[in-house]
Amino acid sequence: MMKIVLIAVGVLLGIVMLAGDGLAAWLFLTRQGDAQQPAVAKAVTPAAKPPGPLHFAELEKFVVSLATASESGGHSYAQVNLSFSSYNEDAVKAFDDVRPMIKAAVVSSIMAHADKVATGSTEAREMIIAEALAAANSIVAQQDPKMGQRPFAGAFLTDFVLQ
Domain-ending residue, one of 49, 65, 88: 49
Start-to-end CA distance of the chain, whole Å, equals 96
Q: How far is CA 5 from the centre of its chain?
A: 67
What pLDDT score does 140 carry? 93
What pLDDT score does 38 carry? 53
pTM beyond 0.85, yes or no: no
Residues 24 and 69 in one domain: no
Instruction: Indicate the number of domains in the chain.
Output: 2
Residues 127 and 87 in one domain: yes
**Residue ranges making up the domain that contains 87:** 55-162
pLDDT (tens digit, 9 = 90+) per residue, 16-63? 788 878 777 777 777 765 555 555 445 555 556 667 899 999 999 999
Average pLDDT, the chain: 84
What pLDDT score does 69 carry? 66
pLDDT (tens digit, 9 = 90+) per residue, 59-69? 999 999 988 76
